[in-house]
Structure formats: C-alpha cells, structure tokens
Amino acid sequence: MQLEKYKIDAHNNDLLSAHQRKLAFISSEIENSEAIIQKLVNFQIAIPSWALGTGGTRFGRFSGGGEPRSLEEKIEDVGLLHALNNSSGAISLHIPWDIPQNPQAIKVLAAQHGLRFDAVNSNTFQDQPGQEKTYKFGSLQNVNRDIRKQAIEHNIEVIKHGIELGSDSLTIWLSDGSCFPGQLNFRKAYQNTLESLEEIYAAIPDNWKLFLEYKAFEPNFYSTTVGDWGQSYSYVKKLGDKAFTLVDLGHHLPNANIEQIVALLLMEGKLGGFHFNDSKYGDDDLTAGAIKPYQLFLIFNELVDGMDARGMDHTKDLGWMIDASHNVKDPLEDLLQSVEAIMMSYAQALSVDRIALNKAQDENDVVAAQEILQNAFRTDVRPLVAEARLRAGAALNPVALYRNLKVRENLINERGAKAVSTGL
Amino acid sequence: MQLEKYKIDAHNNDLLSAHQRKLAFISSEIENSEAIIQKLVNFQIAIPSWALGTGGTRFGRFSGGGEPRSLEEKIEDVGLLHALNNSSGAISLHIPWDIPQNPQAIKVLAAQHGLRFDAVNSNTFQDQPGQEKTYKFGSLQNVNRDIRKQAIEHNIEVIKHGIELGSDSLTIWLSDGSCFPGQLNFRKAYQNTLESLEEIYAAIPDNWKLFLEYKAFEPNFYSTTVGDWGQSYSYVKKLGDKAFTLVDLGHHLPNANIEQIVALLLMEGKLGGFHFNDSKYGDDDLTAGAIKPYQLFLIFNELVDGMDARGMDHTKDLGWMIDASHNVKDPLEDLLQSVEAIMMSYAQALSVDRIALNKAQDENDVVAAQEILQNAFRTDVRPLVAEARLRAGAALNPVALYRNLKVRENLINERGAKAVSTGL
Amino acid sequence: MQLEKYKIDAHNNDLLSAHQRKLAFISSEIENSEAIIQKLVNFQIAIPSWALGTGGTRFGRFSGGGEPRSLEEKIEDVGLLHALNNSSGAISLHIPWDIPQNPQAIKVLAAQHGLRFDAVNSNTFQDQPGQEKTYKFGSLQNVNRDIRKQAIEHNIEVIKHGIELGSDSLTIWLSDGSCFPGQLNFRKAYQNTLESLEEIYAAIPDNWKLFLEYKAFEPNFYSTTVGDWGQSYSYVKKLGDKAFTLVDLGHHLPNANIEQIVALLLMEGKLGGFHFNDSKYGDDDLTAGAIKPYQLFLIFNELVDGMDARGMDHTKDLGWMIDASHNVKDPLEDLLQSVEAIMMSYAQALSVDRIALNKAQDENDVVAAQEILQNAFRTDVRPLVAEARLRAGAALNPVALYRNLKVRENLINERGAKAVSTGL
Amino acid sequence: MQLEKYKIDAHNNDLLSAHQRKLAFISSEIENSEAIIQKLVNFQIAIPSWALGTGGTRFGRFSGGGEPRSLEEKIEDVGLLHALNNSSGAISLHIPWDIPQNPQAIKVLAAQHGLRFDAVNSNTFQDQPGQEKTYKFGSLQNVNRDIRKQAIEHNIEVIKHGIELGSDSLTIWLSDGSCFPGQLNFRKAYQNTLESLEEIYAAIPDNWKLFLEYKAFEPNFYSTTVGDWGQSYSYVKKLGDKAFTLVDLGHHLPNANIEQIVALLLMEGKLGGFHFNDSKYGDDDLTAGAIKPYQLFLIFNELVDGMDARGMDHTKDLGWMIDASHNVKDPLEDLLQSVEAIMMSYAQALSVDRIALNKAQDENDVVAAQEILQNAFRTDVRPLVAEARLRAGAALNPVALYRNLKVRENLINERGAKAVSTGL
C-alpha cells in the first residue's frame, strides 16, 4: 500500500489552524521551542521487523490480519509508519527470519521508503528447522563447545548480512540462563559466554558496535547469564571499545531505578542504546509510555543531560529502537503510539531548565528540583512533536490519518486476513 | 504566623496576566473547564497532624526547624496551607498526641482558619509512656484479652475526642501482624481482630464511618493482620454498613493495580477513603504524584467514574487525606506539592471524555481508549487548578508565595530552630 | 509402556536395607511417624493432562520426544507415574484437547491404571480452529454478550464431559483482563464475569464444586479480571456454597504471603484447592519445592492446621493438583520431583508439634515458635515418604527406577522422537 | 554475667546420648562428615555491636531489658554467645557509639572472651549530637565539599580505632542517595562518592580491606548512590586491590538471584564479605534462615564452590557477619538462631557431592543437579553442627541452655529492665 503525499497534505490542512493555535501557545511557554522542534525533526527511532505482526504469549496469539509476509512487506510497513510520522526512518532485522535473498534490491527498496538499516539481531533463543544442534540449554554459554561454535557462527553470519545492508551494529540478546538451582555453574557459564562473545567481537567491523542486552528473567526462570546491567557492563568492559550495554526497559526486577542505570552507563561510556517499551509486571512489552510515562521522561532527562555532558550526537551516538509486542492492538497503531510517546519524552527532556536544575541540586533544594522536572513533564509538548512532523512532510495526527485511510483494511485486502508475520 | 489577605492579592496580581493567558488557552481546549473549576474549588484534602513535622526512617531523622509544638500550632500550620491553596480545609488528628485540652477553644481556632476536623486516628503501633500493657505483639489481634481491651478502649476514647471536635469518622490503621512464621495463628489473629473491631464498631455513632486501612508489610515483616484489600473487605463486610476500607497508595505489594482495587471497592459500596502519597519501593510516603503521576490520574479516573455511577458527592462521600512523610523537604512545601498533584489528577479525571471512552470500551478499541485517557493526562490543566485557587481567594502559586513570604524562617523565629513536632 | 510389578519389587529389594535403616532412625525421631505414613499412603495429587509434554515460553519450545499423542497415551503416562509413586492417582483434563471420543472406554482405561478423574478445566485463553467468535478481548468478561454466551456454553460442555467421566469439579482459570489502562471498565468487566459465572454455576451438579482460580498477571499485562484472592473470594461468595477459590502458587505479586491467604480462605470455608508449582519471578511454573521449599512447608502447615480445625478430610475436601511446565526437564521426571516435594511438605506439616506451637503462640514466644516449625522442616522425612510408597507397592526411588527402566527411551520408541503433546 | 564451663558440661551430658545416636546416623549418611565437623569448628561469624539490643522500625521500638549499656557489656554479650556456640568469636564495632575509652583494656577484655575485632563500621546515616555539618543530603556524595570532608575524616577516624583494636577491615555502608527525581545529579553524586572513597582508601593499611556495601533503597526512597552490586563493583574496581564488595542479603530488589551475584563477585575476585539476615519484603533484617533457608543454602553452595576454586581459606578470606534486627525476639536468642542457620547452610554446602554435580551440569542433567542439591539440603545436618560445638566446648543446644540458665533474667537484674543498647 502506498501513502500518497497529497493525502497527508489534505489531512494536515484540515488540522492546521487548530495546530497553529496550540503551537503558538506552547511556543510562548517554552523558550527553546524552535531548537526542540529541530531536534525532533532529526530524531529517528528504529522499528524492529518482529514488531510488525501481532504478538502473543505462551497462552496463545490472536492475530489480526494483513501482516507482512516477507521482508519486502516489512519494509513497506515501516515505510508507511515513516511516511506518517517521519520519525521511524530505520528498520532493525531479525535473523534468520529476515535474511535478504537479494540484498541490493532490499537496500533500494528501503531507500525508496527513506529507511536505513539499524542494528541487526541474532537469535539463539529457539531452534530453527534443520538446525544441527539445539539451544535448549543455551547457546553462547553452552557447556558443549560445538553448540557454542554454532551460535558464534550464527552471530558472525548476522554481522555479514548487516554489512551487506549497511547496518553498523549487532544486538545480542542472550536468553541463555537456567531454570533450576544447580543447572548451571555460574562461573563456567560466564566464562563460556565471555569466550563466545570475544569470538563474535573479533568479527565486528571497526566502524560497528556490539550491543549486549541484559534481562532479569524469561525465558529462563532461575538465572539469566546476562542478567542485569552490572553483568552486561562486566562483559563489555572486557570485550573492548566497540562493545556497549543495551537497555530494554522491561528487562529489570520490580522497582529498579532505570534512569540511574542509564546515567551511570553513559558516564562510564558504555551505554549503547535502548529498546523502548513499557511494563507493569515484567517484560510485558507494552506500548512505550502506556504505563509509566513519567519514568520514560526521567530516562530521557538523563539521556539528554548525559549525552550533552559527553558531547554526543543525539541522533547517532546511541541506538534507539522500539521493542514491543502488540497482543490486543493493531501493530502499526501501537508503534505510532510508542513513537509519539518517545518523542514527547524527548521533547520534554529538551525543555528542562538545566541551569535552574543544576542550581537546585547544588543547593539541595529538593522541592525546586521536583518543580523544575515536573514543570517540563506537565507542559503539553504535543504541538512541538506535531510541528516537527509537519515540517518533515508527515502527518499532524498519524493514528487518525492511518484510520481515515483505512490502512489496515487495505493491508488485509492485499495480504489476506490470515497473513501472519514471520519471526517471534 | 498570620498570612494576610493583601499579601495573597499582591502575589496574584503579579501573576495574573500570565495566568489569564494560560487559562484562556486551556479553557478553549477543554469543553467543561468551567464545571471542572467549580469542582476544584469545592474539593478539600485533609492534612494529618503528623505530616507537619519532618519525617524520618529507622536510621534517623533530620529535623528542620519551626515545627509545631502543640495542637494549636498544628492547626495554625494547616491554616497556613489552606490560606495558600484553599484546598486543605481539614485536619486529621492523631491520638494520643493531639488530645485537645480544651476542645471548645480548639474548635473555635480551627473555625477561624476555615478548617473542619477530618477522621480521627487511633494509634496502637507503639507504647506510650505510662501505658499499662505493651503492644509489642499486637493490639486488636493480641492473644491477651486484656491487651485487646486496652486497645479497644483507646479506640473508643479516640471516637469520643472526635465527637467533641465534630469529626465524623475513625481511621484504624492496624500495624498488628507478625515477623516470623509460626508467631501467629492467622485464624485466631483474624478472629481476635474481628471481635475487637466489633466492639469498636459498636461505639461508632450512627452518622460516623469506620475506616479500616490495610497494609502489606511494615512494621511487621512476615504478615500483617489487615494485609490487603481483600482482608480489609472481609472485615468491613462483617462489621456493617458504617465500616469501609481505606486505601493508602503505599501499602501494596510491588506492581499492584491499585486503580482496579479502587474501582471494585467502589462498586461494592465499601470504599471509604484515601491516604495519598507516592512510592517507588514500599511505603515510602513520598509526595503525591512525585513518582507515578499517571497512576494517580488513573486512580482518580476510577474514582470520578465510580462515584458518578453511584451518584456520590465527590466532596463528602469519600475521605480524602494526605499521608506522607518528608525526610528531605520542608513539610509544608511538600504538602503544597502533594495537594497540587492531587488537584491536577482530579481535574484531569474530570476532563476525560467519558462518552468516547465508553464507546471505545464497548468496541474493544484499545488504541482509542488509550488516546482518550492519555489526552486527558497530557493536557496541562494547571491553569484550572490555579484558577480555582484564585476564585477562592488563595494563591496562584502557593509554593512561590510561601517562599517569598519566608514562612519557614518566620516559623523558626517564632518556634525555634529545634522545635520538633510531636507524634511520629 | 507397561511397568511390571516385578521390576518395582526388584528395585525396592535393592534399596530395602538402606531404606529400613533410615526409616528406623526417623521413626525414633518423630513420634507420630506411623500415622504420618498412613496419611501419606492415602494422599493423592492430580496430574493435569497438559503437564505431560514439554512446556515452553513465548520465545519457543524445545520438545523432548515420546510425548503422549492422545488422551489414551496421557492416561498411560499418568498411570506410569502412579505406578512409580502411588501418589498420582488422578488426572485432570483440559477441554477441548482432551474430549473423550468414547468416555466409557476412557473410564475403563483410567480404572486399569488406578486413576480417577479430577477437576475438568475449561479453556478460553485462546481461540480454537473453527471457533465462531474470538476471545481476543476476553470471554466471560467480554462486552459482547454473544462471546460471553459462547464461553459459558463451553464451560457447560466441559461440565458435561466431566460428568460422563466421573469428575466432580470444574476449574475455571480466566485469563480475561486488559493490557492497557482504559481498555476495560473494571466494574462492567466484573459484572459481566459474575453474570457469566452465575450461568455456569447453575449448571454445576449438586455434588460438584466450582473452583475459581485467580492470577495477578499474564497473559494480560495491565489488569486481570479475577486478579487476586480477594476478587476470587468476592465472586465465590456471591455464587454460592458450591463455589470456591483455587490457589495457584505462581499467581501472586512479588513477596505475597500465600500461607496467610490459604489460612484465611480455609477459615472462611472458601478454599477449594491448589495448583502446585514453584516460582522465582512470576508464573514460572517450576517444579514444586524447587525454589522455595520452606514456603511450601508453611503452606502445608496452614492446610493441615486449618483442615483439622474444620474437621476436613485431607484426601477429599480440597483439590490437589500440580500445574507446572517443564521447559528443560523430562516432564515425567519433573512431575515425580514435584510430587515428592509435596509429599515431603505434607509429611513435615503432619509432624509439627501443634500443642507446643499453640503454647508458644499463646505466650508470644516467637523464638520457640520458629524452633518448632524449623525443627519439623529440618527433619529429614524422606524415609517416611518412601515407606508410604513401599507399602502401597510403588517404588522407593521413583526417579531412579524411571531412569533405570529407560522409560523415556521406550516412550520415544513407541511414539516417536517428534511426538508433541496436545494442549498448551 | 559469667557462663561457667561446668554448666555447659552439665547441659551437654544430659543431651549426650541422644546427640550421639543422631550423630552416628548422619555420619553414616554423609561421607565427609568428619571433615565437615572440623570446618564447622573453625568457622566464626562476627556479631555486630548494634545487634545486641532490641531493634525497631520508624513506628517504634519495644525494648526488652538487660541490654548492654557500654562497649564492655557488648563484649560481654558476644562473649556469652561465643561461650554458648563457639561460633561467634568476633565482634564488629559501630563508630561513634563504640569508641573505646581505653583500647588496651578493651582488647584484654575481648581476649578473655576469646573474641577478635572484625570489621569496623563507619556511620554517616544520621547526625550525632555536636556534629558540625549535617548528612541530611548525604555524606560522601554531598555537593558540599566540607561535608564530604567531614565524612571522610570520620571514616579515617574509624580506621584508626580499628587499628588500635586489631581489626583489619572497614565496612562502609553508605545510605547516601535521593528521595525524589531531580534531587541528585547521578553522575556528580557518583564522582563525589568515588573521590571521597579514594581519600578513605588512601588511609587503609596495606593488610586491611575496605568493604563497600550496596543497598537498593532505604533510607533513601528514590535512588541510592551505591545501589546495587554493579555499582559497588564499579567503585571497588576503580579503588584498587584492597577494595571489595560486601553483600547484605536484605539489600536487593524483589526476586534478585543473590547466589548468582555472589558467584560472579567471587569469580571477579571482588567479593569481600557478607551481612547475613533474612527478609520477605525489603531490608527486614530478620533472623538468618527464618524465611528462605534454601536461598541461604544456595548462597553457601556458591561460596564453598567459588572459594575452593580460588583456593581461598573459608575462615579468613571473606568477612562473615550477621546484620539483623530483633523487634520481637530476645536479641541474644535471635543471634543464636541466626548463627545456627548459617552453620547449617555451610555444613550442607560442604556436603554437596561436587563431582556428581559437575557431571550433571556437564550433561545438562537438570533433574540430577536438582536432586544433588536438594539431597544436601534435605539431609538433617544439625548433629554435625552440634558436634562441632561439643568438640569446642560449647553447648549442644545453645538456646535451650540460654533459657535454662535464665540469662536474660540475670542480665535484667544486672543492668535493669530499662537498659537500652546504644547505637541504632
């Protein structure tokens, strides 16, 4: 399905005067609104290929329809999102499901949609048909050297696919761990994993990054071998300068202070990027900002502050990606909502009066510090986010336009009501 | 310290034109803004007498100064808050610390400040000097009939003090429980507690309510005898029509869905009231809205919806009280921030488009339902809350005025830098 | 595969003298050891049909082989377990997967293995092929009356299958809930669910029980419509005398005191039964006793105490069932380990010196109460459990015999290495 | 109060034949029982001076009586414990409360009781009378250089006291952190803390160790500046070879896998020692082994395995200390119970069949690995622990002898019913 420019323009025209009124108001409230809008225009959040279909749980999956049946259709879907919001200009692939048959053609197709290839993702959390050895008891951690070798080679293959497409990073989320006390020797599991990572790291091109994600639990329910930020940090410190920790918001124990973790990893020069989502109980993979929007803002507050302190480029020096599942929502609508929530949090973080905040902190004026942060959070920055879209040729209200254009109905017509996305 | 009306007026005059601009904008955004303002004017949140001093933890307490040294000074402090925000028109007393020597004079003093007496609170979580029997192993649950009797009589005495002052409810927070497996027979503890509550209930006047608070843990660290909403509900169902459950936001296990609990208690006709605060880890007693402002909004969303469904009066049919501690903030500033956060959440809940929400729910349109709630939450309603204060003769920016008038410095001058509030 | 009696006897003969030595020692340590053995002989724990195959997570499933391909083979598997331990004399079926084509033949087969039919389980947490309406947005709670009706009829059909087989209870685990704030009106969801349950309850025979299970989260990640014991209790109180709450150990928020919940439900006459498993993080469905064996003992301590206080029959008046998944273990070995852990906890609870415990509680002697409980827990009661098996003709060491006889290899030979169990 | 040797002997004589019967049985069950007994004889757990009095919560404290009123009496209390169990041969002091007036005399007194001085503990979590600057907003992290300096100097003074007494380690538990978002700049707080620690580290003698404890929350309720093992690890790595992480069991987020943390810190050569206690909800400071005894065993399983892998001396190369509070128990009885639970876990860990466990791990035989660990845990090793006491001249049943000798009554007679221990 193609989203013609004139349809976006028509949509924007209808909403324009209301938008301009709101924009005028908020611009009078926020001093640096123009600079914020510019940064919002440039900010891009990658969409993972596996998020384009209906998610599920171990108890079942209630597919919608019109899901992408191929890598080409996945790119088309992300292209649609990017046309609607101009903030989703990258796609993150999942190997083996997304192995391109014709990389050159895929690159051309992506370029047509204005998309680049974000981090490539290896997968050893399940066995593929025809796979020689099983990952039932782990991959990079496995007590069996041959299984580790198979997993290492898979990762190296993923890097190669990434190179072909122009990606420049590899994300390793390792589901390895154990379900019962005694199953693993923790030290050996760590050492095996470290050795495996070192072999993968050796295959990482010089201009690439290796992101090592951590997760507290699931699918293993007693221990995870890269289980928290401290463990990921201890691996990436040993690996070298191209290795970084990746933070997924849903991968923590209850009540963890994620914004502090983010600040410290940034300080250490070891924060690599983000998987955005939201959660109430565990790795619920809900829409970003749907449950704890203030936490999302506080994280961005640390990101902006920490990146600026290190002179980092907001758009390039960290990896930004959504990693959510969509059990009860249309996946594309869900992704539009996630991107919107992330952009809002970013805009709010950019609007924080940092001079005043530093002063309050230096004076231990806790009340004032809270007022400053909450003022940024309570201020309605949605018109700034909308204006950034408008300037970039995208839609003032992406979800509304998506619905007006009956995108899902069109996709179902094209692809069928039973089309179920591959991967996950 | 007296807060003269002309000082408030001067403060408001300075901020008026900026306020009016913001109000005009938000009034054009929210259809029922006028009705919301009216409800905000009427809405009052009680201040507990123990929240007027610096709080502490078992590791120590860092007192500020100028804390109230007597019931009279506590009333004066709440009067100051009420003068500043016109939303704190009630005080909730803690017996034995706040026993009035001259109830009539106290009533006159409170009336001068425009305050009424909210729920009275009994206390059996510590022993008082001269107390005959110890509550070390519980009070209403105690295996010893004489100790239960002492605790029952204390509660009845609290009711009497409340009657004298014109209060109309008793809040029982029972710290009873156990620290180790085997310490208690759970059934006997329940039965003893039920019998004790029945005796207290018998002393409750017909126009009164008994609020039974629950708490998951602390100060007991293995079990609590009124430990969750289900337990409180099972007691108040047995007690009768004047008994209700009271919800304190910090008294839950990690990740609990408090808004659902609130909705169901309201549905059952057994929600009595609220203790507002916020928390990240446990009963942290932080400023309301300081950690999870969206949760506070979702709770108010259920409150407004549920009260309206039962035709309840927002201002009278539930008890609203703050229950926070202030370890690192000026207590009065903290309370102003809590009240502000509560008023915002209430205003946002009032602005929810309920017809559209019901429609979305009836159609399982999860995306739309989220958009509707988040739209209410993202909209900046602070000008409505400020306008409500303005109309009621209070300050547009209470914290700023409090600081400009150097209230704390004045209180320290009056009461001394070492004045430490009684109770907790 | 058949487990001939002589093989068990040979196994037991090899271990007999060592066993007798241990039994003699422990019998000299525990006063009522003979009575405990007798109770252990009689105690039976039902095996759910879905636990006979390798479990999985949303990230994948690593099947073993030789899994049962039909209801007949499931009965055969449970028969094997029961032959090995004589404590698994019941099977719990999952409809629609286990609908018997020829109920009479199935009853005969079960009887040959010494098995009875425990609670039948309805399932509305996923859609079945050919199902008319979807449960994507819930079943008994659904806003759509026709969907509720379909789910009600499914439950009534399950009851009918149960009647045919001689079952006498229905377990309803309702996955209904919501993933996002605003998705549900909590009150309407409750009311719809209650009405649906009332219709199902009306179809429950007089000698049957309805068990209503609760769960904090998963597969819904914002709210669950029967989310905690308090909610289940409020439903079953309204339904009537045949309705009871069912407790699954993994269905609680972090740190919940499950033994207190059990004690109170028993006290209220509303505890129906148990789903045993263990967990560290959520509904991990690990082997019973694998993570928190002391908690399992404390729960049995309340069960024994509470059932005896009400004159209940340990073997019949509550439903006992395992509900675990087996991602990295042979399912049958895992079930043998779970049963062993449950029997140990039951034996330990039976050995508690209740007179001394009551005395310690009456005197608030917390140290002594802990000593009494821990003494029962620290005492090695495994010889009592083994003796109960020996007397009943089962194996002294079921796991060892299972391995010696190469049961899994035999099942793979019979059923194939790719045989994957139906259901879940 | 003096505990004469003949009283212990008389007590042991009464219990001897029963003990010998049990010991004979268990010695026939555990191959290396003699070696285990020897290790138990040598194993010593330090008692902190603050654990000798009744603990409390922020809601109050219910003191017993006869608590030690001076450092001398604290030493006497630990001496009593050590006489009873011969496993508490060290005391850990808390400065400023335990500053010795006459160090030489104190050393003599301790030696008379067979006690050495374990780690000394600094304290900046509350202000002392006469203290110049306040720690309200932190100590080593403080934005104010003078406050940091004061806290550094306090730590250096603590080291000096430790040197005088023959201690060889400093434990820093830093309560520094924040209660509200925005209060701290996380990076600056980290950098200030690191600088402060470097200054303290410079004062650490060459044969000493610096232990840096971490804690997730309390008394700060938003962030803690040494908040988890990863943060402590990142500090001690920067500090140098004499700096180590100290693990307190109650200082973790819900569901944390502490045994994995311990294993990894040991592997990294950065585990310094332990604070033993138990908890259900937070830093509950309950008796070790009272809530999760299997977790305690699993931790010791990693300790024994990891120390042996590095050729470490169990008795000297890690710091072992209890850190519990006793709100409802006699403190001395509570400590006896804690020591007993720790000794049991240590004995069980020593009895694990490591060759079989390694084999099971190498074969991914999860069922066997669980059987091996649970066999060690289910085996009743109490006679080994008792035998170790017997051989060392201590009591077979310390709690029973403590009660028979009416130690508490004697202490109350000596010190008074109102004697309340200093510190915490």
pLDDT band at C25 (very low <50, low <70, confident <90, very high): very high
Two tokens, residue D186: 């996380």
CA distance A211 to A246: 5
Query: What mean pLDDT do residues B33-49 have?
Result: 98
Alpha helices in A352-381 (DSSP H): 354-362, 366-378
Q: Rounded to two decimals, what is the model's pTM?
A: 0.98
Which token pair is A24?
A: 């005028």
Q: Is the minimum CB–CB distance between A268 and chain D shorter than 8 Å?
A: yes
Torsions phi, psi for A172 (to 5 deg): -110, 110
In this structure, which amino acid lies at residue A47? Answer: I
> Could you tell me if residue D309 is inside a domain?
yes
Contacts of B125 in chain D (CB under 8 A): 59-60
- C-alpha D64, offset from chain centre: 23
- The percent of residues in chain B predicted with pLDDT above 70, rounded, is 99
pLDDT tens digits along C146-178: 999 999 999 999 999 999 999 999 999 999 999
Residue B412 domain-assigned (yes or no)? no
- Judging by beta carbons within 10 Å of its beta carbon (0-12, 13-18, 19+), is residue B390 exposed, middle or buried? buried
Interface test with C, best of A58, A124, A223, A329 (most C CBs within 10 A): A58
Partners of D180 on chain A (C-beta within 8 Å) are 366, 369-370
Outline where C184-292 has alpha helix (H): 186-202, 229-239, 258-267
Scanning C268-365, the segments in alpha helix (DSSP H) are 293-309, 331-351, 354-362
Predicted confidence at residue D420, as pLDDT, reads 77
State yes or no: pLDDT of B423 exceeds 80. no
Tell me how crowded residue B294 is: count the other CB atoms within 10 A of its CB: 22
Residue C386 backbone phi and psi in degrees, to 5: -65, -40
Asked if A328 is an interface residue toward chain B (Cβ–Cβ < 8 A), one would say yes
ipTM of the complex in this document = 0.97
Side-chain half-sphere exposure of D395, counting CA atoms within 13 A: 27
> Which residues, numbered 297 to 316 in chain B, qualify as contacts with chain C under a Cβ-Cβ cut-off of 8 Å?
298, 301-302, 305-306, 309
pLDDT of residue D77: 97
Give CA angle at B142 (B136, B146), nearest 5°.
100
The DSSP symbol for D287 reads P
- The reply to whether D290 touches chain B by the CB within 8 Å rule is yes
Supply the DSSP string of D178-191, one letter for each residue: ESSTTS--HHHHHH
Give the CA angle between residues D286, D289, D292 to the nearest 5°: 95
CATH number of the domain that residue D146 is part of: 3.20.20.150
Q: Determine, yes or no, domain membership for A393.
A: no
Q: Is B320 helix (H, G, I), strand (E, B) or coil?
A: strand
Residue B367 in domain: no
Q: What are phi and psi of B35, to 5 degrees?
A: -65, -35
Determine the Cα–Cα distance for residues A246 and A248; give it in Å rounded to an integer: 7
Judge contact between A138 and A189, C-beta under 8 A.
Answer: yes
Residues 6+ apart with CB under 8 A from D208: D159, D162, D168, D169, D170, D242
8 Å CB contact of D222 and B291: yes
| CA nearest to B260 within chain C | C186
Do the Cβ atoms of D255 and A253 come within 8 Å?
yes
For residues B243 and B270, what is the distance between their CA atoms, to the nearest angstrom?
A: 8
Q: Is the dihedral of CA C236, C241, C247, C253 positive or negative?
A: positive
Measured CA to CA in angstroms, residue D248 lies from A315, C291, D159, D324 at distances of 41, 20, 21, 10
Chain D residues near residue C377 by CB distance under 8 angstroms? 293
Question: Strand pairing of D223-224 and D177-178?
Answer: antiparallel
Calculate what percentage of chain C has a pLDDT beyond 90: 96
Judged by DSSP in three states, B36 sits in helix
In angstroms, rounded to a whole number, what is the distance separating the alpha carbons of residues B31 and B200? 47
Half-sphere exposure of B164 (CA within 13 A, CB side): 16
Interatomic CA distance for residues B380 and D158, integer angstroms: 53
- How far away is chain A from the Cα of C211, in angstroms, using its nearest Cα? 20
Evaluate the omega torsion of the peptide bond into residue D96 and state whether it is cis, within 30 degrees of 0. Answer: yes
The pLDDT of residue A424 is: 59
Q: For residue B216, which residues of chain D lie inside 8 Å, CB to CB?
A: 281
Strand-strand pairing, C271-276 and C319-322 = parallel
In angstroms, what separates the C-alpha of B60 from chain D's closest C-alpha? 5
CA distance A151 to A127: 11
H/E element, A274:
strand A271-276
Q: Which residue of A has its CA nearest to D354?
A: A182
> For residue D333, which residues of chain C lie inside 8 Å, CB to CB?
367
The DSSP code for B128 is P
CB contact under 8 Å between B281 and D282, yes or no, is: yes
pLDDT of residue D424: 59
B279 touches chain D (CB under 8 A): yes
The answer to whether D235 and D197 are in contact (CB under 8 A) is yes
Cβ burial of B213 (10 Å; 0-12, 13-18, 19+) is buried
Tell me, yes or no, whether D5 lies in a domain: no
CB C42 within 8 A of CB C294: no
Which of B375, D182, B371 is closest to A375 using CA atoms? D182
Q: Around Cβ C62, how many Cβ atoms within 10 Å?
A: 16
Q: Which of D59, D180, D281 sits opposite B125 (nearest CB)?
A: D59
User: CA nearest B343: which of B65, B87, B35?
Assistant: B87
Q: pLDDT tens digits, residue range B125-161?
A: 999 999 999 999 999 999 999 999 999 999 999 999 9
Q: Chain A within 8 Å of C97 (Cβ-Cβ)?
A: no
Q: Read off the pLDDT of residues C268-323 as tens digits, 9 standing for 90 and up.
A: 999 999 999 999 999 999 999 999 999 999 999 999 999 999 999 999 999 999 99
Rounded Cα gap, residues C210 and C207, in angstroms: 10
Each residue's pLDDT tens digit in chain D (424 positions)?
A: 789 999 999 999 999 999 999 999 999 999 999 999 999 999 999 999 999 999 999 998 998 899 999 999 999 999 999 999 999 999 999 999 999 999 999 999 999 999 999 999 999 999 999 999 999 999 999 999 999 999 999 999 999 999 999 999 999 999 999 999 999 999 999 999 999 999 999 999 999 999 999 999 999 999 999 999 999 999 999 999 999 999 999 999 999 999 999 999 999 999 999 999 999 999 999 999 999 999 999 999 999 999 999 999 999 999 999 999 989 999 999 999 999 999 999 999 999 999 999 999 999 999 999 999 999 999 999 999 999 999 999 999 999 999 999 999 999 999 998 877 776 5
B201: exposed, middle or buried (C-beta count within 10 Å: 0-12, 13-18, 19+)?
A: buried
Residue in the block written with tokens 């069949």? D353
Q: Which of A21, A280, A399 lies at the smallest CB-CB distance from B367?
A: A399
Determine the pLDDT at residue B328: 96
Find tokens 């959390």 and name the residue.
Answer: A125
Distance set, CA A422 to CA A52, A67, A112, A162, C266 (Å)? 9, 9, 23, 19, 48
Q: C169 near C209, Cβ under 8 Å?
A: yes
D404 to each of D3, D15, D408, how far by Cα in Å?
12, 13, 10
The number of folded domains in chain B is: 1
- Closest-CA distance, A286 to chain C, in angstroms, reads 8
| Tokens 């010791």, residue located | D300
- D370 located within any domain: no
CA distance B122 to chain A (A): 31
| Cβ neighbours of D287 in C, within 8 Å | 370
Contact with chain A for residue B371, Cβ under 8 A: yes
Quote the CA–CA distance of D327 and D64 in Å, as a whole number. Answer: 9
- Where are the strands (E) in B69-179, listed by range? 90-92, 116-117, 120-121, 169-173, 177-178
| Residue C126 neighbours by CB distance under 10 Å | 18
Helix A229-239 with D229-239: angle, nearest 10 deg = 40
**In 3D, which of D248, D245, D249, D210 has the Cα closest to residue D230?**
D245
Is B207 inside any structural domain? yes
pLDDT for residue C421: 79
Interchain contact A98–B (C-beta under 8 A): no
C200-204, long-range: CB < 8 A, 24+ apart: C200/C152, C200/C155, C200/C156, C200/C159, C200/C170, C200/C172, C201/C239, C201/C240, C201/C242, C201/C243, C203/C155, C203/C156, C203/C159, C204/C159, C204/C170, C204/C242
Which domain range does residue A95 map to? Answer: 45-338
Q: Supply the mean pLDDT for chain C.
A: 97
* Contact residues for C231 (Cβ-Cβ < 8 A; gap 6+): B230, B264, C190, C214, C225
Residue of B nearest to D175 (CA): B59
Tens digit of each residue's pLDDT, chain A (424 residues):
789 999 999 999 999 999 999 999 999 999 999 999 999 999 999 999 999 999 999 998 998 899 999 999 999 999 999 999 999 999 999 999 999 999 999 999 999 999 999 999 999 999 999 999 999 999 999 999 999 999 999 999 999 999 999 999 999 999 999 999 999 999 999 999 999 999 999 999 999 999 999 999 999 999 999 999 999 999 999 999 999 999 999 999 999 999 999 999 999 999 999 999 999 999 999 999 999 999 999 999 999 999 999 999 999 999 999 999 989 999 999 999 999 999 999 999 999 999 999 999 999 999 999 999 999 999 999 999 999 999 999 999 999 999 999 999 999 999 998 877 776 5
Burial class (CB in 10 A: 0-12, 13-18, 19+), C118: buried
Q: What is the pLDDT of residue D1?
A: 76
* Pairwise CA distance, residues B417 & B422, whole Å: 15
Measured at the CA of D110, the angle between CA D107 and CA D112, to 5 degrees, comes to 110
Paired tokens of C25: 């020692």
Among D182, D257, D362, whose Cβ lies nearest the Cβ of A227?
Answer: D257
Look at residues D268, D400, D416, D298 and name the one whose alpha carbon lies nearest to residue D340. Answer: D400
Q: Which two tokens stand for residue A354?
A: 């940092």
Query: Binning pLDDT at 50, 70 and 90, where does residue C42 land?
Result: very high
Please indicate whether, in this complex, the C-beta atoms of B264 and C223 are within 8 angstroms of each other.
no
Would you state the structure tokens that stand for residue B111, as one six-digit string?
């009336």
> Measured between CB atoms, does B17 come within 8 Å of chain A?
no
C255 touches chain D (CB under 8 A): yes
The Cα–Cα gap between A81 and A332 comes to 7
E strands, A118-231, in order: 120-121, 169-173, 177-178, 209-213, 223-224
Residue D130 domain flag: yes
How far is residue B292's CA from residue C333's CA, in Å, rounded to a whole number?
Answer: 45
